[in-house]
Amino acid sequence: AVRGPFAAVDLGASSGRVMLGLLQDGRVTLEEVHRFANRPVPVLGTLHWDVLGLYRGVLDGLRAAGGAAETATAGLASVGIDSWGVDFALLDADGALLGNPVHYRDARTQGMPAEVEKVLPAAELYAHTGIQRMPINTLYQLTAARSSRQFRAARHLLLVPDLISYWLTGQRGTELTIASTTQLIDPRTRDWSAPVADALGLDLSLFPPLRSPGDPAGELLPGVLAETDLAGRVPVTAVGAHDTASAVVGVPAQGGGFAYIATGTWSLAGVELASPVLTEESRAANFTNELGVDGTVRYLRNIMGLWLLQECLRAWEAEGEPQELAALLESAARVPGLRSVVDAGGAEFLEPGHMPRRIAEACRRSGQPVPRDPAETTRCVLDSLALAHREAVFDARRLSGQEIETVHIVGGGARNALLCQLTADACGLPVVAGPVEAAAYGNVLVQARTAGAVSGPLSALRGLVRSSVRLRQYAPTGDHSLWEQAAARLRGDPPPGGRQ
């Protein structure tokens, strides 16, 4: 069986990377061969992704993968692509790109959920799709875009990882896990929801046929081989093309009683289920049923995530007060906890700009102390995130009936010891942190299984991750009831004994 190397292309909202994965002696070794920035570009008032720039990064990454020693001897076994969700490109009948994809943080989706609900009430939409009401969802973006000339000229719609895959292979498909972020998939049938598309007058034939993680997705085109100095036939394999789907595969859990938090720009906190939860209660709790690898459902809540901190850092830098992250986290750890918390799921934090000011404003509005410096602001952000993690983990347990013994934190936030400890404290549960590159592990392992290098269910793949990485454990500390009080404060519950 082929043991690799496998190239995992993982595109995130702030950077992309190409990792090379190799299976050896029951372990996976991952090597980052190329990393490149992903900088959105505002053009005439619309925020875009520089998708050709990203593709350039992918090509450079594949060339670097080809240059690695393992590839020189064995050739590249396959390529898999995952990215952030919801965003898409429109192509004309010839397959040419009609414009740069618009960024989900662009303001065009403002008011779109309400627009959709005029024709399809929220409860009905949820019963069909089980997707959390977030303005960024493809459905709302399509509602905003549909009257444009570009949309009317479009004959194909490709989600970002499927677009990269198309450029590499010439073959168009729609991978299922990323398709589920559109809010146009029925999680029970794992197929497009005709009732939703019909109600909104959306033509589902814009989407190329669905394919599942593990399916073959073509081979690198001769022009791509030439550009990347790769030789031979290099298959592209559909993986969990949604980065969060790949990250959940890469959760090093043992047994079934776990929650996961995939942290990065976003925090995606929830559980893995065999079937969706489409109850009215679940809708009210704003839980989403995105699709996972191997027929699973990712039952989770989208939380604003480390975006809050990234945007603060950007603002401080722009104001001529750049902060060094490690030192900032150290000072934040010394700030007394839970003085002020904000709703880390709040749509008010979605768009870029002025984050410290917006956080201060949210604290002032809710009658809490306003953070006075970067350390206090950072503590407020991390306390708020930990609290949001707790609420999501507890709600996931309550709404799905799934037992939770351990919380796994994967992705960039697994590096942030303060966030991991606060999350353990807030949940009153042990936290296992790592790997940071969970999405790349998940991406590589699904390719490896298709190639026959590994076999078995997700639990077997997770076992391989466990034996490949060093994990950090955080035991819950502190007075757990303080978190309950903070949660009540955020909900606006009157304090015990009446309002002060």
Binding residues for ligand LFR, rule: CB under 6 A, are: 12-13, 84-86, 104, 136, 242-244, 264-266, 268, 302
Residue 10 or residue 70: which is nearer to ligand LFR going by CB?
Answer: 10
- Shortest separation between residue 180's beta carbon and ligand LFR, angstroms: 10
| Token output for 33 | 């061969």
Q: Which residue is nearest to ligand LFR (CB)?
A: 85
Q: How far is the CB of 181 from ligand LFR (least distance, A)?
A: 6
Rounded least distance, CB 197 to ligand LFR, Å: 21
Is residue 243 annotated as a catalytic residue, yes or no?
yes
Q: Which is nearer to ligand LFR, 34 or 242 (CB)?
A: 242
- Tell me how far, at minimum, the Cβ of 366 lies from ligand LFR, in Å: 26
Closest to ligand LFR by CB, 247 or 454:
247
Q: How far is the CB of 395 from ligand LFR (least distance, A)?
A: 17
Nearer to ligand LFR, 332 or 446 (CB): 446
Report the residue number, 242 or 379, with the smaller CB distance to ligand LFR: 242
Catalytic residue among 50, 106, 186, 243: 243
- Give the residue numbers marked as catalytic: 243
